[in-house]
Amino acid sequence: MTVFLTAVDPGDRDVVGDVYDLRLAGHAADVPHLPRPCPADLEGSLTVAPPATEVEEWAAYSAGGRCVASVRLEFPLEENSDAVTASVLLVHPAFRRQGVGKRITEFSRDRAARRRRSRVLLVADAGPGDPAATPGHRFAARLRARALVRYEHLRLHVDDAPRPTPPPESLRLRFWGSTVPEELVTQAARLEATLSADAPAGQASWEPQPNAVSRIRDFERMRIARGRRAYQCGVVDVRTGRMAAWTALSMTRANPDNALQAVTVVDPAYRGQGLGLLVKAHNLAACRAAEPRLTVVDTWNASDNTHMIRINTGFGFTRAGTRGMWELSARRSPARTGSDLPRPLTSGLS
Ligand SMILES: CC(C)(COP(=O)(O)OP(=O)(O)OC[C@H]1O[C@@H](n2cnc3c(N)ncnc32)[C@H](O)[C@@H]1OP(=O)(O)O)[C@@H](O)C(=O)NCCC(=O)NCCS
C-alpha cells in the first residue's frame, strides 16, 4: 500500500482531526482499558514539547486520502541525544497487515538517521492478557527489535487506597496544583534528578535527567498546554525546610474518572520511614475531594523496580497490563542532494 507522510501542522484542523480520530480508533482496538485520547491533550502536545525535546508529528495518508497512520517522534536534545523515541507508531486498525507499519518504521529510522540518532525506541501498551499476543509485540518481534524494558501497568481503584495518617510532628504537608511553589522548585528539581538517576529501567541505557529548575517549569508549561491539571503534595521537614517527599497526580480533560500517578520521590535521607505511602495517601485524598468522579489511578513501574512495585501493591494498586519498549538501530543516512532539513509537508513512501 502506498502512503504519504505529512508533517502535522497544529493549525490544520482537518489533519489534527484525522490524527485524533485515528488515535481513537487505535485506542478502541488496542488499549480500551486505558483512558481515552483527549483532544485538548493532543492539541497541546502539538504545540508544546516535553522539556529539552523536539517533536516531529507525522500523519500518513493513503492514495485515497484516508489517514492510515500516526507517528510521533521525540528527539531528546540534551541527555540521550543518540536516541529518538517513537512514542506513537500507530496504524489504523482497518489498514493493518498491508505493510504500513513497516513503512512508517522505515520512515522513522530515516528521520532518526537524518538527525544523527543511532537508535529508535518503540513503545507498545498491552492490557491484562498475554502481551506477546498483541500486534505491537508481534510487530516488534518481526522487526527483530531488541527488547529493552518492560513496565508493569498498575491500577488503583480509589476506594482501595489506605486512609491518610497524620505525618510525624517534624514534618509538614504542603499541597499545590499544577505549579510548584517558587520556594520549593529548587528542591523539586533536586528530588526529580535523584529519581531519574535511581529508578531501574531495564536495558534502556537512559541517561538521568539533570537537576534543573527549568525542567520542572518546562514540564509544567507542557502539562498546562495539554489541558492537564495536577494535584501535588510535598512533605517538608520543618526543622530544616528540606522537602523530604513529593508526589503528583495528573488528569486530562477527557477523563474525569482517571488520574495518572506521576512522580513520587522520597529524599534518600528520609527513606525507610513510609513517607512515600504517606504523601501519596494525602495527595489522593486531596485529589478525590476536588474530583468527585475520580475512580481509578494508573501508574507504570519498570518490572525490575521491585521496590516500587511492592510499595504500590501495598497501597492497593493491582496489575492491569504492561508497556513494552524496544530498540532498533537507525538506518544509515541516505545520500542526499539537497539540504538536511525535512522536506516540506509530504514525502511519498511506497
Ligand atoms: C504494530 C502495528 C504498528 C503494525 O502495523 P501493520 O501495518 O499491521 O504492520 P505491517 O503490515 O507492516 O506488518 C509487518 C509484519 O509484522 C507482523 N505483524 C504485524 N501485526 C501482526 C499481528 N497482529 N499478528 C502477527 N504478526 C503481525 C507480521 O509479520 C507482518 O508481516 P505480514 O503481514 O506479512 O505477516 C499496528 O498493529 C499498530 O498500530 N498497533 C498498535 C500500536 C503499537 O503497538 N505500536 C507499536 C509497535 S512496536
- Tens digit of each residue's pLDDT (9 = 90 or more) over 247-286: 999 999 999 999 999 999 999 999 999 999 999 999 999 9
Q: Which atom of ligand 1 is nearest to the CA of 98?
A: 11
- Convert the pLDDT of each residue in 113-151 to its tens digit: 999 999 999 999 999 999 999 999 999 999 999 999 999
Mean pLDDT to the nearest integer, 186-199: 83
Among 14-18, 216-220, 327-331, the least confident range: 327-331
**What's the 324 CA to ligand 1 centre distance in angstroms?**
15
E runs forming strands in the chain: 3-7, 53-62, 67-76, 83-91, 119-126, 146-157, 171-176, 229-237, 243-251, 258-266, 296-302, 318-329, 346-349
Looking at the fold, whether 187 and 108 belong to one and the same domain comes out as no
**Residue nearest ligand 1's atom 32 by CA:** 97
Looking at the fold, whether 174 and 62 belong to one and the same domain comes out as no
Looking at the fold, whether 294 and 201 belong to one and the same domain comes out as yes
Looking at the fold, whether 54 and 102 belong to one and the same domain comes out as yes
Looking at the fold, whether 279 and 200 belong to one and the same domain comes out as yes
Contact in structure between 246 and 279 (CB atoms under 8 Å): yes
Give the pLDDT confidence score for residue 212 in this predicted structure. Answer: 85
The length of the chain in residues reads 350
**What's the 98 CA to ligand 1 centre distance in angstroms?**
9
Give the pLDDT confidence score for residue 94 in this predicted structure. Answer: 98
Q: What are the phi and psi torsion angles at 235 (to 5°)? A: -110, 120
Q: Which residues pair with 58 in a beta bridge?
A: 7, 71
Q: Is 122 in the pocket of ligand 1 (CB under 6 A)?
A: yes
Q: Decide if 288 is inside a domain.
A: yes
Residue 131 is classified by DSSP as G
- Convert the pLDDT of each residue in 275-318 to its tens digit: 999 999 999 999 999 999 999 999 999 999 998 899 899 999 99
Q: Is 3 in the pocket of ligand 1 (CB under 6 A)?
A: no
What is the percent of the chain where pLDDT is above 90?
86
Looking at the fold, whether 165 and 310 belong to one and the same domain comes out as yes
Give the pLDDT confidence score for residue 205 in this predicted structure. Answer: 67
pLDDT band with cut points at 50, 70 and 90 for residue 204: low
Looking at the fold, whether 299 and 343 belong to one and the same domain comes out as no
**What's the 85 CA to ligand 1 centre distance in angstroms?**
18
**113: containing domain:** 3-118+330-349
Q: Is 90 in the pocket of ligand 1 (CB under 6 A)?
A: yes
**Residue nearest ligand 1's atom 7 by CA:** 101
Q: What are the phi and psi torsion angles at 32 (to 5°)? A: -65, -15
Position 200 pLDDT exceeds 60: no
**What's the 139 CA to ligand 1 centre distance in angstroms?**
4
Q: Decide if 143 is inside a domain.
A: no
Q: Which residues pair with 176 in a beta bridge?
A: 232
Position 202 pLDDT exceeds 80: no
The CATH number that applies at residue 64 is: 3.40.630.30
Give the pLDDT confidence score for residue 348 in this predicted structure. Answer: 34
Cβ neighbour number for residue 334 with a 10 Å cutoff:
8
Contact in structure between 203 and 149 (CB atoms under 8 Å): yes
Tell me which of 62, 97, 328 to substitute to probe ligand 1's pocket, judged by most ligand atoms within 8 Å of the beta carbon: 97
Instruction: Count up the domains in the chain and report the number.
Output: 2
- With left for phi above 0 and alpha for psi between -120 and 50, is residue 17 left, alpha or beta? alpha
Give the pLDDT confidence score for residue 201 in this predicted structure. Answer: 55
User: Could you tell me which residue, 151 or 209, shows the higher pLDDT?
Assistant: 151
Position 160 pLDDT exceeds 60: yes
Looking at the fold, whether 339 and 306 belong to one and the same domain comes out as no
Position 198 pLDDT exceeds 70: no
Looking at the fold, whether 164 and 280 belong to one and the same domain comes out as yes
Q: Is 276 in the pocket of ligand 1 (CB under 6 A)?
A: no
Helix axes 39-47, 213-225, angle to 10 degrees: 130
Distance of CA 157 to the CA centre of its chain: 21
Q: Decide if 146 is inside a domain.
A: no
Give the pLDDT confidence score for residue 256 in this predicted structure. Answer: 98
193-220 in b/e form (b: 16+ CB < 10 A) is bbbbeebebbeeebebbebbeebbbbbb
Q: Is 41 in the pocket of ligand 1 (CB under 6 A)?
A: no
Q: How far apart are the first and last CA of the chain?
A: 6
Looking at the fold, whether 80 and 215 belong to one and the same domain comes out as no
pLDDT band with cut points at 50, 70 and 90 for residue 244: very high
Q: Which atom of ligand 1 is nearest to the CA of 122?
A: 48
- Convert the pLDDT of each residue in 89-113 to its tens digit: 999 999 999 999 999 999 999 999 9
Looking at the fold, whether 64 and 180 belong to one and the same domain comes out as no
pLDDT band with cut points at 50, 70 and 90 for residue 195: confident
Looking at the fold, whether 184 and 72 belong to one and the same domain comes out as no
* Angstrom distance (rounded) from CA 247 to CA 234: 7
Q: 131: burial class by Cβ within 10 Å (0-12, 13-18, 19+)?
A: middle
**What's the 52 CA to ligand 1 centre distance in angstroms?**
31
Position 70 pLDDT exceeds 60: yes
The residue to which cell 481509578 is assigned:
296
Position 231 pLDDT exceeds 70: yes
- Convert the pLDDT of each residue in 308-338 to its tens digit: 899 899 999 999 999 999 999 997 444 443 3
Position 55 pLDDT exceeds 50: yes
Residue 131 one-letter amino acid: P
Cell matching residue 179? 505549579
Q: Decide if 147 is inside a domain.
A: no
Q: Decide if 135 is inside a domain.
A: no
Tell me which of 87, 106, 139 to substitute to probe ligand 1's pocket, judged by most ligand atoms within 8 Å of the beta carbon: 139
pLDDT band with cut points at 50, 70 and 90 for residue 196: low
288-299 in b/e form (b: 16+ CB < 10 A) is beebeebebbbb
Position 349 pLDDT exceeds 50: no
Position 350 pLDDT exceeds 90: no
Q: Decide if 151 is inside a domain.
A: no
